[in-house]
Amino acid sequence: MLSPIPAEGHESERAYYVWKAARFHGGADFSLPMLAAFLVRGDSYLTEINELADRIAIEVYGSKYAGALRWVKGL
């Protein structure tokens, strides 16, 4: 599945970050969300969008640590 790279604008960059981070944290996608993090660097709402991504990961995928655990274990 291809990642939906956003058009310019804060809302689409934030949405892309939430989507990509939630998939990573939930374990649906184990590639690090580096581009997404780059797009929202310095965003004044970064704390809030991180919390949203975590809540979505838990609700949709049942975890907010699956991606990190995969990298820590080196699987």
pLDDT digits (tens, 9 = 90+) for 17-29: 999 999 999 999 8
* Sign of the C-alpha dihedral computed for residues 29, 9, 39 and 54 taken in this order: negative
Biggest CA-to-CA distance, the chain = 36
Tokens of 37: 């993090």
Q: What was the pLDDT predicted at 1?
A: 46
Those residues of the chain that have pLDDT short of 70 are 1-10, 73-75
Domain extents in the chain? 10-73
Query: How many CB atoms sit inside 10 A of residue 36's CB?
Result: 24
